[in-house]
Amino acid sequence: MVRRARRINRELAEVYPYAHPELDFRNPFELLCATVLSAQTTDLRVNQTTPALFAAYPTPEDMAAAVPEEMEELIRPTGFFRAKTKSLLGLSAALRDEFGGEVPGRLDDLVKLPGVGRKTANVVLGNAFGVPGITVDTHFGRLVRRWKWTDEEDPVKVEAVVADIFPKSEWTMLSHRVIFHGRRVCHARKPACGACPIAPLCPSYGEGETDPEKARKLLKYEMGGQPGQRLSPPADYPGKPAPALGAG
């Protein structure tokens, strides 16, 4: 299992050499806020929403002083906007009052912030601070169970199992590759098995569409010739930028 898991990671690295966090951000504070907003919605919808949010509140000090009702209107498209506003106001005040207006670079500090759990903390650490971390979102959990790396459902237990399979230096990029594959090919309801580049390594091959032509029609984002999720993707991203809110 370990040998197969590591080979899957190597194969995914060749398929997605451009794998990256799919949230637009320019600094740790923006990534932290965007990750909190990404709960129960798509990264695309977050990316379409955050430009106005960060224009209005570019720093923790600015955000902590926001009028809740005004922030709610800005982030309404992401859903659960009242709870998310409460989290953003709380974490911004904590950053202002306890961390000098800076996002901390330690897991123990991050998870103490309102609305921030291990998943969000690992996203921030891995992509804003270069600290290796495994991001167990719904895609990651689904795929590692399909690949028989673990049968655990609890994200913390999944993280621990996967951390034992791979060297720490691989954790952050492994997370990106697995999540990319889950969003583009290995979907929850109908995986595109017939168009999957790692099909020979998959113990669950056949759960989805195996006909190559039909499977190719299931591919999403750049794999399916459609725009990605970021309005400002990295320079090496081979797909099209996502449209701004209201642009299609």
**Would you call 24 a catalytic residue per the annotation?**
no
Residues near 120 by beta carbon (within 8 Å), at least 6 away in sequence: 32, 35, 36, 110
Instruction: Return the biggest CA–CA distance within the chain.
Output: 57
119, 157, 168, 211: the catalytic one is 119
Asked if 9 contacts 191 with a C-beta cutoff of 8 angstroms, the reply is no
Residue 33 is labelled as binding a ligand = no
62, 109, 112, 137: the catalytic one is 137
**Would you call 151 a catalytic residue per the annotation?**
no
Structure tokens at 223: 């794999």
C-alpha to C-alpha distance for 157 and 148, rounded to whole angstroms:
14
Residue 196 is labelled as binding a ligand = yes
C-alpha to C-alpha distance for 199 and 207, rounded to whole angstroms:
11
Instruction: Select from 171, 147, 169 the least CA-distant residue to 159.
Output: 171
* One-letter amino acid for residue 60 of the chain: P
List the binding residues.
186, 193, 196, 202
Catalytic (active-site) positions: 119, 137
List the binding residues for [4Fe-4S] cluster.
186, 193, 196, 202
